[in-house]
Amino acid sequence: MPPAHPFDDDKLKEECGVYGVIGVTDAANFVALGLHALQHRGQEAGGIVSHEPEQGFNSVRRFGYVRDNFTRHSLMETLPGPLAIGHVRYSTAGSKGAAIRDVQPFFGEFSMGGAAIAHNGNITNAEALRKELIERGSIFQSSSDSECIIHLMARSLQRNIPERMEDALRRVEGAFSIVAMTQSELIGVRDPLGVRPLVLGQVADGWVLSSETCGLDIIGATYVREIEPGEMVVISEKDGVQSHYPFRRVPSRFCIFEHVYFSRPDSIIGGRSVYETRHQIGVELAREAPVEADLVCPVPDSGTPAAIGFSRESGIPYAMGIIRNQYMGRTFIEPTEQIRNMGVRLKLNVNRALIKGKRVILVDDSVVRGTTSRKIKEMILDAGAKEVHFRIASPPTAWPCFYGVDTPQREKLLAATMSEDEMRDHLQVDSLKFISLNGLYRAVGEIEGRDSKCPQYCDACFSGEYPVAPSDMIEKGFQLKAAE
């Protein structure tokens, strides 16, 4: 499936979103709404598994948007019951443009009954586990790293499915936020570092698990709390929420890029509004990298809150200098080479009357390969801008992520091969500045900045300091950052 617009490949993509509901009539309908709210976390495919006591488990997996699949009454009728989980995905581990067998949730039948599992994150020792499991007789149906968990559960000798899941996850390295289900239980679990998000909510007499709080809002659920790093919750209609901590406690390392880009701006993370955090990133950026200019313009849509913060702190007027075409979708005509070269204009257009003769500050969330940045700069200059200054609401992305984000190989990351000045010359702009890592930490509420001895977040994509060694990639020759 093609990307949603011609330059999606110049953004880092979250791997997926997970969602689960128990204790409501037709839980799958609630899950479909929740997945719709989490669509930004994965637009390649989606799936829902439900359980109804008489019919048992039912599953539907489809490529494409939630709205194009899970809104049809005839399809939703095939997913009855008071318990359901769902998943939206991009592909990271596994094949790009994968087969339907790679679409989650995955289902397994065990001696004590069936279970389905949906996983957000990436297992960094998946290839080693897969090799071991195949040698012991496991037969894999997909290329996804998440399927390892099902096979590890099948080989566990524990008495029930939650205990088997604990057993399996102790063998797993990397990042995982998981929503799973048995015939009568909804299960949520986060890895000990808490790299990827997961929240708990309540709707009527039922319970909800969601990757983000915006998934609770859409069904009118009440936010209860975040699932803690290293916590497992087992939820049933009979006993409610049962919580325990099956892993050794370690300092948490939540993904800081969730604050910068991945999460929706109307979500709450760690008690903080994502929108307010991004606004504060713009404030910090204006303090760190001031420049004389006439307008502050966001690169839609992800740069908007930071641009507003930059404008308010600097006193330079905020303006919508670039207008987004909201109707650019996946079903656009197959582009010819000529149309493809127009690329970004299919999605963005410059507000010429506003830009002409002005010194413009463009605020964007990140620079990955730099292809989009160059084309947007050219559009701004074509519209008659006098100067173009880029201000980036994250530090330079110089290292790939191995914890559930689709990142290019390191040599394709602009910041991996160029200094800030070299990137400025490559993009051919008047100035280019990124927020510092300490500035980003201050914006997310760490007033003293980053603790270099024990960082409060996972920031490996900026720092090269991986909290969990990516063992599969190291085996393939990936070079970790040399110790300083």
Average pLDDT over residues 389-405: 94
State pLDDT tens for residues 233-251: 999 999 999 999 999 999 9
Average pLDDT over residues 300-326: 93
Q: Is pLDDT of 325 > 80?
A: no
Q: Is 137 left (phi over 0), alpha (psi -120 to 50) or beta?
A: left
State pLDDT tens for residues 36-48: 999 999 999 999 9
The per-residue pLDDT for 371 is 85
Q: Is pLDDT of 96 > 60?
A: no
The per-residue pLDDT for 302 is 83
State pLDDT tens for residues 412-457: 999 999 999 999 999 999 999 999 999 999 999 999 999 999 999 9
The per-residue pLDDT for 439 is 97
Q: For residue 352, what pLDDT band results from cuts at 50, 70 and 90?
A: very high
State pLDDT tens for residues 399-415: 999 998 877 789 999 99
Q: Is pLDDT of 126 > 70?
A: yes
The per-residue pLDDT for 2 is 34
Q: Which region among 78-82, 326-330, 365-369, 471-475 has the lowest average model confidence (pLDDT)?
A: 326-330
The per-residue pLDDT for 339 is 52
Q: For residue 300, what pLDDT band results from cuts at 50, 70 and 90?
A: confident
Catalytic residue chosen out of the listed positions 16, 148, 401, 458: 16
Q: Comparing C-alpha atoms, which of 122, 12, 44 is closest to residue 408? A: 12
Backbone angles phi, psi at 9, to 5 degrees: -75, -5
Instruction: Say whether 297 is catalytic.
Output: no
The per-residue pLDDT for 451 is 96
Q: For residue 223, what pLDDT band results from cuts at 50, 70 and 90?
A: very high
Q: For residue 10, what pLDDT band results from cuts at 50, 70 and 90?
A: low
